[in-house]
Structure 1
Amino acid sequence: MRKLILCAVMTLVAVGAWAQDEKNTETVSGPKIVFAENKYDFKDITQGDKVSHTFQFENVGNEPLIISDVLTTCGCTVPQYPKEPIAPGKSGKIDVVFNSRGKQGVQNKVVTIVSNAVNSRARVSLVGNVLPAKSDSGVN
């Protein structure tokens, strides 16, 4: 009886390991965008400063990646992105500039990348704190 139970447990473990291996070896059908980082923390800046950052990505899928649009939460954040298809296994970049003029306090500027990827709406963000501008009142 003990041998029978041991045999059943061993079979279940082997089937579970095989099923897990099957999951890990699934290939992505279509393009898939993967970013090197999803968030950039620009720390403290002074109101009126501009922050720029480049988000690197790779197409880890098996078809060309086409970015159709990049959306931002306000006009203070301006993205530049590749208009040509990114081949499987190739990399690209999205440059983002945040203008802190008129902003103050903690900021979280989300950039949404719209594409033909299996993860069709990827998001990255710029976060940080905008300190008040120093006044030039001339008072000592």
Structure 2
Amino acid sequence: MKKLIILFTAIFAFIGFTAMQTKNAEIKFEKETHDFGTIKRSVPAVYEFKFTNTGTDPLILSGVKSTCGCSVADFPKAAIAPGASGVIKVTFDALTVSPFTKSFTVSSNAKTPVKSLYIKGIVE
């Protein structure tokens, strides 16, 4: 019985210490919104959001999702070392003439695990 109590105490202590570990990766973008200005219809507009891992642990991007099918994002699949930089390349292909604002949701293992990026402009 004494061994069982020691075993359960060790398991709970391990779980507690694991849960208390902090995330030490952090993503810092040069800018989070890009204005394309006026762009032409059916001509893809491309922008690269530059970022740096300002934390002390490797940064892992788990996904970048767009708000519509007219825009896509390409992002690094490999871990970004502390102090290293990378880019998230977004492409917007407008089929209708109108002003637009689109967002991209960036998911990662950073202290702030979800960030939003925005593109905007006018399609002529």
**What TM-score range do you get, normalising by the shorter chain?**
0.7 to 0.9
Is 1:50 matched up with 2:44? yes
Query: Which residues of 2 match residues 1-140 of structure 1 at below 5 A?
Result: 30-101=24-95, 103-131=96-124
Alpha-carbon contact 2:67-2:102 (below 8 Å) kept = yes
| Structure 1: gaps of 5 or more residues | 1-27, 132-140
- Residue correspondences, number: 103
RMSD between aligned residues: 1.2
User: 2:123 and 2:110 mapped to 1: Cα distance?
Assistant: 34
- TM-score, length of structure 1 as denominator length: 0.70
Structure 2 residues without counterparts, runs of 5 or longer? 1-21
Deviation above 3 Å: which 4+ runs of structure 1? none
User: SS of 1:48's equivalent?
Assistant: coil
The structure whose Rg is larger is 1
Whole-angstrom CA distance in 2 between matches of 1:29 and 1:69: 18
Offset at residue 114 of structure 1 (A): 0.3
C-alpha displacement at 1:44, in angstroms? 0.8
Per-residue deviation at 1:45? 1.4
Percentage of pairs with the same residue: 36
Distance 2:39 2:87 in 1: 24
CA distance in 1, matches of 2:102, 2:35: 11
